[in-house]
Chains A and B, each alone.
Chain A
């Protein structure tokens, strides 16, 4: 039987791995290439890298950092691909099919796109037709407001015209292969996954859904796998901050009878 996946999500900012909280505060965790050995030890099901560098961002604290450019991310990806033998997804600042071409050519198996497909929804179809639907992961950042979940773009800073249901339906119609759900209102708060929105999202689309945002304790992972039909669960800070967290969560999931690798 197909395994449900547990995915470490790594956020890159100006070429470094960072942790994020509510999409606003960032803390540097280290160099992505020097972290590779650790990631291999985890024996993870898949890795998702998201480049959250703001356009034109420049880190004044570090004079050894250049202005972040597309080629930096591609070279990071290329280094990772030489040593990591697992599916790699890459996202962040992907706007055009040419951006996608560069990522796929340098070792990404899938691309994760958020603002790029909000601005230009036909990019979903273009990527799916060129590389297969499974390579097109639509990342959906949403926030609960009153009695609806509203979709945001540009790292959670811009409200879009879509609510969660309408955007998921649109993404599926245009040929998305997978949905990466990121609950902004839970990002980095360690208060558990937003089970209600995840369950509704799984009803609205027939695509594999990856849930992200809110993992605080090991039980949160068991909870989301038991109480929703998600194909995969992703987390960033949780895996990056606690020693052996990935391996411990995997073990706990197996013990709880969840069908994981």
Chain B
């Protein structure tokens, strides 16, 4: 089956650069302006720039919420949340007001508490893979990505964390649970490292969990069975 990337077009920020980035890696990509169009996607991408509550409102009111629930939970289509799109995967978020998220990755979204460092965390930062299915290439365990965010996702189960980054403490730069992926950074703004993440995501097969990066890339957990 031919792979097609469907970007959820729920009016939260500009998705043009993301579309260009998928085109640059040779992917067939479209922006799903309504939930029905997303049916054609083998790979779903939830982008997002803006505030958590407004994003959830848009997902609900435009009908994307139930479409995503079905495509992700029942049909097991791979999903990649980017930046705010990753945060929306959580149970809830506390930006402006406590607001329920999509609940695909049990956890909470909180404001960065980084002491004297500046918020937003903006710029390039080293990011480390902490488990095999991290979307980093199998031959690298560290890459530098471009971040812009004031909030971050804390998964209830630390096993869901796929990448870590340091900024006034360690936080989840990436999450993965089954076929659901999230990255806090902007792959579409991170040169080849970012395009590599999008390529890896395209290798994820519908309904087939944990087949990417068959070679473990991080040694921290080598002592575990």
Mark A residues whose CB is within 8 Å of B: 1-3, 5, 43, 45, 81-83, 85-87, 104-107, 109, 132-134, 177, 206-208, 231, 261
| B123, A2: Cβ atoms closer than 8 Å | yes
| A107, B125: Cβ atoms closer than 8 Å | no
CA separation between A190 and B153, bound complex, in Å?
A: 45
| A3, B14: Cβ atoms closer than 8 Å | no
Contacts of A132 in B (CB 8 A): 49, 120, 148
CA separation between A208 and B188, bound complex, in Å?
A: 23
Contacts of B21 in A (CB 8 A): 85
Instruction: Let me know if B121 is at the binding interface, CB within 8 A.
Output: yes
Given A1-B166, A3-B144, A85-B21, are A45 and B124 neighbors across the interface (CB < 8 Å)?
Answer: yes
Contacts of A231 in B (CB 8 A): 123
CA separation between A2 and B20, bound complex, in Å?
A: 26
| B17, A107: Cβ atoms closer than 8 Å | yes
Given A1-B125, A2-B125, are A85 and B120 neighbors across the interface (CB < 8 Å)?
Answer: no
| A85, B188: Cβ atoms closer than 8 Å | yes
| B24, A2: Cβ atoms closer than 8 Å | no
| B148, A134: Cβ atoms closer than 8 Å | yes
How distant is B1 from chain A, measured CB to nearest CB, in Å?
A: 28
Interchain CB contact (< 8 A) of B14 among A1, A5, A83, A107: A107
CA separation between A178 and B32, bound complex, in Å?
A: 34
| A206, B118: Cβ atoms closer than 8 Å | yes
Binds A, one of B3-11, B64-72, B190-198: B190-198
Instruction: Let me know if B30 is at the binding interface, CB within 8 A.
Output: no
Contacts of B191 in A (CB 8 A): 43, 85-86
Q: Mark B207-223, 1 if CB is under 8 A from A, else 0.
A: 00000000000000000
The 7 tightest CB contacts between A and B, nearest first, are A3-B124, A261-B124, A134-B122, A82-B20, A2-B123, A134-B120, A261-B144
How distant is B200 from chain A, measured CB to nearest CB, in Å?
A: 16
Given contacts A83-B20, A177-B122, list 15 more A-B pairs with CB under 8 A: A3-B123, A3-B125, A45-B123, A81-B20, A83-B24, A85-B188, A85-B190, A85-B191, A85-B195, A86-B146, A87-B146, A105-B14, A132-B49, A132-B120, A133-B120
How distant is A76 from chain B, measured CB to nearest CB, in Å?
A: 15
Number of interface residues of B (CB under 8 A): 28
Contacts of B36 in A (CB 8 A): none
Looking at chain B's contact residues, is the secondary structure mostly helix, strand, loop, or mixed?
mixed
CA separation between A65 and B120, bound complex, in Å?
A: 41
Interchain CB contact (< 8 A) of A86 among B24, B121, B167, B189: B189
| A104, B122: Cβ atoms closer than 8 Å | no
Mark B residues whose CB is within 8 Å of A: 14, 16-17, 20-21, 24, 49, 117-118, 120-126, 144, 146, 148, 166-167, 188-192, 194-195
**A-B residue pairs in contact (CB < 8 Å), sample of 19:** A2-B117, A2-B167, A3-B124, A45-B123, A45-B124, A81-B16, A81-B17, A81-B20, A82-B20, A83-B24, A85-B24, A86-B189, A87-B189, A104-B14, A132-B120, A132-B148, A133-B120, A177-B122, A208-B122
CA separation between A132 and B14, bound complex, in Å?
A: 14
| A5, B190: Cβ atoms closer than 8 Å | no
| B24, A5: Cβ atoms closer than 8 Å | no
| B144, A85: Cβ atoms closer than 8 Å | no
CA separation between A113 and B17, bound complex, in Å?
A: 22
Interchain CB contact (< 8 A) of A2 among B121, B188, B194, B195: B121
CA separation between A3 and B123, bound complex, in Å?
A: 7
Contacts of B146 in A (CB 8 A): 86-87
| A2, B124: Cβ atoms closer than 8 Å | yes
CA separation between A157 and B97, bound complex, in Å?
A: 47
Contacts of A133 in B (CB 8 A): 120
Contacts of A5 in B (CB 8 A): 123-124
CA separation between A261 and B166, bound complex, in Å?
A: 15
CA separation between A167 and B62, bound complex, in Å?
A: 44
CA separation between A173 and B144, bound complex, in Å?
A: 32
CA separation between A2 and B44, bound complex, in Å?
A: 30
| Residue from the set A2, A82, A105 with the largest chain B CB neighbour count within 10 Å | A2
Interchain CB contact (< 8 A) of A107 among B16, B24, B120, B124: B16
Report the nearest A residue to B189, measured CB to CB.
A87
How distant is B140 from chain A, measured CB to nearest CB, in Å?
A: 15
